[in-house]
Amino acid sequence: MSTFQEVNDASLIQLIGEAQQGVGDWNHDFDAAKAIDHLATVSTKEK
């Protein structure tokens, strides 16, 4: 069983991969950037 953080990391890696594949899709890149920013904020608050 994976921890919540591991699930977050896996989702983040997947998002980054998808964003890199769809460079022309600005909306997708923007969603990925928001997700990365959100995860960074959440992990900072937990410390």
Where do the structural domains in the chain lie, given as residue ranges? 4-46
- Mean pLDDT across 29-40: 81
Axis crossing angle, helix 26-46 with helix 4-21, rounded to the nearest 10: 160
Among all chains, which residue has been given the structure tokens 């997708």?
Answer: 28
CB atoms within 10 A of CB 36: 14
Residue 46 has which token pair? 């937990």
Specify the pLDDT at position 28: 62
Query: Is the pLDDT at 11 greater than 80, yes or no?
Result: yes
Asked if 38 and 47 touch (Cβ cutoff 8 Å), the reply is no
d(Cα 29, Cα 24) in Å, to the nearest integer?
Answer: 8
Query: Is the pLDDT at 46 greater than 70, yes or no?
Result: no
Residue 16 has which token pair? 């980054």
Query: Is the pLDDT at 1 greater than 60, yes or no?
Result: no
